[in-house]
A and B are shown apart, each in its own frame.
Chain A
Amino acid sequence: MGIYMDNAATTRVTEPVLEAMLPYLTEHFGNPSSVHGYGRDAKRALDAARREVAAALGAKPSEIYFTGCGTEADNWAIRGAAYAKKEKGRHIITSAIEHHAVLHTCEQLEKEGFEVTYLPVDEYGLVSAESVAAAIRPDTVLVTIMAANNEIGTIEPIQEIGAIAHEKGVLFHTDAVQAVGHVAFDLANMPIDMLSLSGHKLHAPKGIGALYIRSGLHIQPFMRGGAQERSQRAGTENLASIVALGKAITLATEHMEENAKKVSALRDRLIKGILETIPDVRLNGHPEKRLPGNVNVCFRYIEGESLLLSLDLKGIAGSSGSACTSGSLDPSHVLLAIGLPHEIAHGSLRLSLSEENTEEEVDFTIASLQEIVARLRAMSPLWPENRKNDR
């Protein structure tokens, strides 16, 4: 089989998670809102899963709302808070390197009369708490900064940022889609009002996410309809996936320390192998404050898509922030925000590992990259060797 190194895009549903969810598609198919035994069965499972998610995050079950995905949680948190607080003010603070689920939601709010400040980041992709403090105005109602970046893996100082927001009486939301399951959260003791997470980044299926909303905070409901999710997010619950999320987040939390240790060792082996054996490569993101599984590098003189295609032919699955993969001419907004010129940002590669990867896979990937990068550079008009005869 192939080598899967795209766990930041999505993860495999593991066997215990699949086993936990399957009965909720067949035997226990009831609607949690129904009064009868089938319904009560389903409701019990729903409540248990909510308790599991809450326990994994150090939150109360009543603070967890299940959503259709991480993007929905981001949309809901930002729009819901903006509209709930619009009498106080219409200013929102975010960063230049947020996921599009946050950025495009903020851009839409700008069209609806809100003002948004997009904070710059440093060369490692860090948002500084000072810059947040400086940007807060009397009419600021929300700060939304991601817990960890999806492309370059940088872990943001959300504890400090949240504390500053709270000092000034401003709500703090964090998109923790890449962080939950890999980085510890204790929400009862963190200055976080809302947190978005997604199931399929931690071995649950696609199509399930959650939003944590601190008790006492009232934001606008996301969808109107039935009384599901305390009437805040109507729609019959995706019970099997909710059960899967409960199981997956519990497993991720139980094994967090050992997984982080194993995965970060693989990550460091991969980074070291690439940087030490291939010339003209740069590591993107912070050398230490980074997700255990994230590797993001730029190879000069070559373009990301041709690199990905070549890796795919060797059975290695990665991703790139390259223009050509998305169909736009601009490379990743994250790589541009950390100050990379376009031509270097075009040659980016993200390999995101999980505890299921092995040292052999890492070593095979390093060897494959050496060969592929050499081949692509040999045909690149930018490769200095190929410019020797320029007139």
Chain B
Amino acid sequence: MYTEQVMDHFMHPRNVGEIEDPSGVGEVGNAKCGDIMKIYIKVENNVIVDVKFQTFGCGAAIATSSRATEMVMGKTIEEALAVTNKQVMESLGGLPPVKHHCSVLAEEALHAAIADYKARHPEA
């Protein structure tokens, strides 16, 4: 049911963990529905210099969060905000229809982390 890319990210997730002193943190989803994603970002001069995630969820949820962090690493805030769930999905070779919401969740977690960064750094 999953592509090789999804299974690779599931078994070898990139950027798992947390950032000690993050510039922003976003947590979305809820345990009731079986998916929670938490993304931490470290921003320097408007560039995401580090990003980490923690996910409670299915294989697709873990893979999409891993892939999303990979795609925004080193990007400016504006570039990161332009990354869509569709791009994340496509770069993983697609997801089964029932799993599309997982990629939406990854995008939302990232946007929440950026919103948190902006709230904490109104000067930025």
Contact = CB atoms under 8 A, between A and B. Distances in A.
Chain B interface size, as a band, is: 20 to 34
B34 A379 contact: no
Contacts of A382: 31, 36, 56
Interface in A305-349: 305-306, 309-310, 313, 322-324, 327, 329, 331, 342-343, 346
Contacts of A324: 34, 57-60, 98-99
Contacts of B56: 301-303, 380-382
Contacts of B2: 309
Contact of B31 (A310, A343, A378, A389): A343
Contacts of B36: 380-382
Interface in B49-88: 53-62
Interface string A360-378: 0000000000000000001
Interface in B1-46: 2, 7, 10-11, 13, 16-18, 20, 27, 31-38
Contact of A313 (B11, B20, B32, B37): B11
Contacts of B7: 309, 313
A275 B7 CA distance: 29
Given A313-B11, A389-B18, A303 B34 contact: yes
A282 B34 CA distance: 18
Nearest to B13: A379
A306 B62 contact: yes
A303 B10 contact: no
B113 to A, nearest CB: 13
Contacts of B18: 386, 389
Contacts of B16: 378-379
Contacts of A381: 27, 36-38, 54-56
A323 B59 CA distance: 12
Contacts of B35: 303
B68 to A, nearest CB: 14
- Dominant SS among interface residues on chain B: mixed
Q: Which of A304, A306, A327 gathers most chain B CB within 10 Å?
A: A306
Contact of B54 (A313, A327, A379): A379
B59 A305 contact: yes
A377 to B, nearest CB: 9
Nearest to B109: A381
B31 A346 contact: yes
A323 B10 contact: no
A304 B35 CA distance: 11
A343 B36 CA distance: 10
A389 B34 contact: no
Contact of A346 (B13, B27, B34, B98): B34
A191 B2 CA distance: 48
A303 B11 CA distance: 15
B54 A380 contact: yes
A306 B13 CA distance: 13
Nearest to A382: B56
Given A327-B98, A343-B32, A379-B13, A306 B37 contact: no
A342 B31 contact: yes
B59 A306 contact: yes
Q: Which of B18, B35, B57, B60 gathers most chain A CB within 10 Å?
A: B57
Interface string A284-316: 000000000000000001111110011001000
B34 A331 contact: yes
A305 B13 CA distance: 16
A346 B36 CA distance: 12
A117 B109 CA distance: 43
B34 to A, nearest CB: 4
Contacts of B34: 303, 322-324, 329, 331, 342-343, 346
Nearest to A308: B59
Contacts of A327: 98
A378 B53 CA distance: 11
Nearest to B32: A342
B55 A379 contact: yes
B110 to A, nearest CB: 15
Contacts of B17: 379
A63 B94 CA distance: 52
A331 B57 CA distance: 13
Nearest to B38: A381
18 contacts: A303-B34, A303-B58, A306-B10, A309-B7, A310-B11, A313-B7, A324-B98, A329-B33, A331-B34, A342-B33, A343-B31, A343-B32, A379-B17, A379-B53, A379-B62, A380-B36, A381-B37, A382-B56
Given A313-B11, A327-B98, A346-B34, 7 more contacts: A306-B59, A309-B59, A324-B99, A329-B33, A329-B34, A379-B53, A382-B56
